[in-house]
Amino acid sequence: MTTKMQEDDIKSLEAKVEQLIRAVAALQDENSSLRTQQRTLMSERAELLQKTELARERVETMITRLKALEQE
């Protein structure tokens, strides 16, 4: 191999390594963003589950009261 070919190969390899470094950085940023989004969504889900349970309990209480009124 000539020196020119070796230099071209090295430059090509350097360019590929730089491209990989940029890709890794972009994926790390995306991963961090997705983790933040996941935490937010999990928190919202927990809040919605709690509200749903509270609403279910209230509806059950109203049904019980209505049944009691029917029997009077």
Query: Please, which pLDDT band fits residue 54 given cuts at 50, 70 and 90?
Result: very high
Task: Quote the CA–CA distance of 30 and 44 in Å, as a whole number.
Answer: 21
| pLDDT, tens digit (0-9, with 9 covering 90-100), for 15-51 | 999 999 999 999 999 999 999 999 999 999 999 999 9
Q: Which residues contact 9 (CB under 8 A, 6 or more apart)?
A: 1
Rounded percentage of the chain residues whose pLDDT exceeds 90: 88
Query: What is the reported pLDDT for 5?
Result: 84
Residues belonging to the chain: 72
Query: What is the reported pLDDT for 1?
Result: 58
Query: Could you tell me the residue ranges of all domains in the chain?
Result: 1-72
